[in-house]
Amino acid sequence: MRENGRTALAAQAFRAPYHLSKPYWDDVAKTLLVQVVNPTAGILSGDRRDSDIAVEAGASLLVTTPSASRVFQMKDGTAECRQSFSVAAGAWLEVMPEPLVPHRGSSYRQTTRIAVDAGGELFFADLLMPGRVAHAEAWEWAKLCLETEVRLGGELILKERFEQTGSDLRALAEFAGSGAGACFGNAVLVGERAGEPDWRAAINALHGDGLWIGMSVLRRGGWSIKFVASDGVRLRRALRDIRAALGGSFPRLTCDPRKL
């Protein structure tokens, strides 16, 4: 963080297929917005993407992407993404990428490791679409595995593994009545203020009108928020509304991502 209180990129290193766009400072939320760009068409067989982002004490960062991550059809092989995030005491990190879109016959694994120091705060959101719905290509990926691990002060507070075939999720979506184009959202909120109840009623009020949403408290210092939307438009609106509901307690979430 600079002497004037603004967050800055102290160091960066990347190579294809990653690219970092010019950061944008949001003076209202006092947060630096960084777009991580994949300039290629999407994710192909054999691709392995690794990222490591650290937010130092006093800094505030929003990391997002400009467009959906498309995982293309694979005749053989697989693709993998390994990402890690660390948040120091007194720092804030929001991770809010555009949705993951697995195409027919794709195989993809994503591993996320998050470490938040005591006194640090985090909002992490992960969005999943069923495929190219407009091409009648939903729930037809070959394999999808999403693993998430979150530690607070070195203590494990969340460990999840999502590994489903497309047909499994199609059956779940049909059972829930959410339709063939159902999209899934997973969010994690960590911070000392996460225990404040003021925002819970506002998030519960979002349930309905094509959105199913639920929350559960983590073993300490945070919440897990999961939601199912009837389509991609409703999914993005749900994330926007969740951020707005949390904004009173976590003012950094008022940072304008310049796209929602």
Cα 205 to Cα 208: distance, rounded to the nearest angstrom: 8
> 232, 196 in Cβ contact below 8 A?
no
* Lowest-confidence pick of 7-11, 33-37, 53-57: 7-11
The residue ranking higher by pLDDT, 133 or 62, is: 62
Threshold 0.85, pTM exceeds: yes
Reply yes or no on whether the pLDDT at 179 is more than 80.
Answer: no
Give the 3-state secondary structure of residue 44.
coil
Reply yes or no on whether the pLDDT at 64 is more than 60.
Answer: yes
Q: Which residues contact 182 (CB under 8 A, 6 or more apart)?
A: 130, 169, 173, 176, 228, 229, 230, 231
Reply yes or no on whether the pLDDT at 222 is more than 90.
Answer: yes
* Closest by CA position to 123, among listed 259, 208, 37, 245: 245
* Closest by CA position to 49, among listed 62, 38, 41: 38
Write the burial class of residue 73 (CB in 10 Å: 0-12 exposed, 13-18 middle, 19+ buried): middle
Two tokens, residue 104: 């027919």
* Closest by CA position to 26, among listed 65, 60, 67: 60
Identify the band that residue 62 occupies on the pLDDT scale cut at 50, 70 and 90.
very high
168 φ/ψ angles, rounded to the nearest 5 degrees: -60, -45
The residue ranking higher by pLDDT, 224 or 131, is: 224
Summarised one tens digit per residue, pLDDT across range 102-121 is 999 999 999 999 999 999 99
Question: What's the chain's average pLDDT?
Answer: 89
